[in-house]
Structure 1
Amino acid sequence: MKIGEKIKNLRIKNSLTQEELANRCELTKGFISQIERDLTSPSIATLVDILEGLGTDLKDFFNETTEEKIVFSKEDAFEKVHEEQGNTINWIIPNAQKNAMEPILVELQPGGRTKEVAPHEGEEFGHVLSGTVLLHIGLNTHKVRKGESFYYKPGVGHYLSNPGKTSATVIWVSTPPIF
């Protein structure tokens, strides 16, 4: 494990300069620089002080985390068909409910619609990949065509419908996750 590199990454993540971190730990900027470049190793007591200045502790610092998955394939997706509503929802990022935002791929058959989503905090974004949809937000309706996007704060009930004669596909992202 490269302790210096890990300290540097934590310092940057906390938006601290070497000098600010050094001041928090009553060390010199030069010493922090040497530690970050793995030119010297801090004593355990000094490492504890540095980690306190970075808002962590020895246990969390040395706890190896698993690599977070970044790229997802079609096999990772979960699909749910709602025949009665004429839609298919694809959760394209597995377990997205634990994230800050949740993207889905919605396929609407002609005359199909999504269920109405209750008002909630956050924001929603969508991009129409094919077809045309109607975005219903409260009493307002907005026509969104292929290549167009929508973005709104969902303070009222909302849903998508497909008034066309061909299917429509939309990438729809919600924060916080609601789907």
Structure 2
Amino acid sequence: MSTRLDIPDDSSGVGPRLREIRKSQGLSLRAVADRSGLSVGFLSQVERGLSSIALSSLHSVADALGVSLAALFEARPQEPQVEDDGAVVFTITRAVDRPRRTVSSGRHYELLSARASGLVLEPMLVYIEPGGTREAAKPHAGEEFAYVLSGELMYEVAGEAHRLGPGDSLYLRSTAPHTFYNDGEVTTIVVSVVTPRHF
């Protein structure tokens, strides 16, 4: 029997925020489409909340608009950063301040830590719904770590697929083309830590 989790998200805010930034820059949908390599029709559907957008495509849109990926989401509350001679020592993020958001069809990303300048890791919980939906394998700078809490995860690295179960982990240099997906029947939950930050 297929099990899907009822996971709240704030993906509905991505489209309107994208439209707001685009219009504030005086850009047409065609201009953003040309810069991002995505179609005008698809971007229009995303802005209206009719289509979800893959994380890799959202990166392309952010680049086309000249903003960070984080700028496409609402600001998150966080406790004050603790500083020592101007350097960030640590941040604290309370459970009630940790929003969940959907940025890709069938994937829910929950950020586990507040942002702080000078800190480069981005820890997340990733909920991957069943169905085998996957993004194209792509390389990028940085490193990536995944630890499966529940369910099963297919992780493809340099064309080779690896099945991970609860307690299994994978750590890689992200310069190797990679992607992950859930071809099982239950929602998979993964602790993911990446550099550089996605959001």
Report the TM-score when normalising by structure 2.
Answer: 0.50
- Mapped to 2, the partners of 1:151 and 1:66 lie a distance apart of 28
Find 2:157's aligned residue among 137, 145, 148: 137
2:29 is matched with none
1:80 to 98, 101, 119: 101
CA RMSD of aligned residues (A): 2.8
Q: TM-score, length-normalised on structure 1?
A: 0.55
Match of 1:155 in 2: 175
Q: Which has the larger radius of gyration?
A: 1
3-state SS of paired residue (1:75) = helix
Shift of 1:105: 0.8
Aligned residues between the structures: 116
Structure 2: runs of 5+ lacking an equivalent: 1-83
What's the secondary structure of 2:110's corresponding residue?
strand
| 1:131–1:167 Cα contact (<8 Å) kept | yes
- Is this contact kept in 1: 2:159–2:177, CA < 8 A? no
Indicate if the aligned counterparts of 1:76 and 1:92 stay in contact, CA closer than 8 A. Answer: no
User: How far apart are the structure 2 equivalents of 1:158 and 1:123?
Assistant: 11
Please report how far the alpha carbon of residue 160 of structure 1 lies from its aligned counterpart in structure 2 after TM superposition: 1.5
Whether the 8 Å contact between 1:99 and 1:177 is mirrored in structure 2 is: no
Q: 1:128 aligns with which of 148, 166, 174?
A: 148
| Partner of residue 131, structure 2 | 111
1:172 is aligned to: 192
Give the whole-Å Cα distance in 2 for the aligned partners of 1:91 and 1:167.
Answer: 18
Cα contact 1:113–1:159 (8 A) shared by 2: no
* Residue identity in the other structure for 2:94: S
- State the alpha-carbon separation in 1 of the partners of residues 113 and 136 from structure 2: 22
**Deviations 1:8-46, CA, capped at 9 Å, x for gaps:** xxxxxxxxxxxxxxxxxxxxxxxxxxxxxxxxxxxxxxx
1:36-115 equivalent positions in 2, closer than 5 A: 69-82=90-103, 85-95=105-115, 99-113=119-133, 115=135
Distance 1:66 1:150, change over 3 A: closer
Kept after mapping to 2: 8 A contact 1:97/1:177: no
Structure 1 CA distance for aligned equivalents of residues 143 and 173 of structure 2? 5
Equivalence for 1:28: none
For residues 60-79 of structure 1, the C-alpha deviation after alignment (integer angstroms, 9 at most, x for no partner) is xxx97598554322223232
Gapped regions of structure 1 (runs ≥ 5): 1-62
- Matched-pair contact (CA < 8 Å) for 2:123–2:192: yes
Residue 168 of structure 1 and its aligned partner are, at CA, apart by 0.5
